[in-house]
Structure 1
């Protein structure tokens, strides 16, 4: 609803359409782009955009 009426820059964070695996939690977060560092990078990318 917000984006429809007040467009804002956005990035998607999530697992692509793939089969995942099990293993060490921190390693899996990094592998699939869900670690805090990956999320912070996405947020910074949005903040760098010009409107």
Structure 2
């Protein structure tokens, strides 16, 4: 879900689902967060 939401043109249904969730019910594991941060760091500066 997170990688889809971070795309330049994310799927509208995914964004709608995320927007419908209460923020306090959404969680990330530390592994997921590390993978996302690693992926962002690997991108060229202009793509971050």
TM-score by length of 2: 0.39
Highest Rg: 1 or 2? 1
TM-score by length of 1: 0.37
Report 1 or 2 for greater relative contact order, CA contacts < 8 Å, sequence distance ≥ 6.
1
Higher helix share: 2
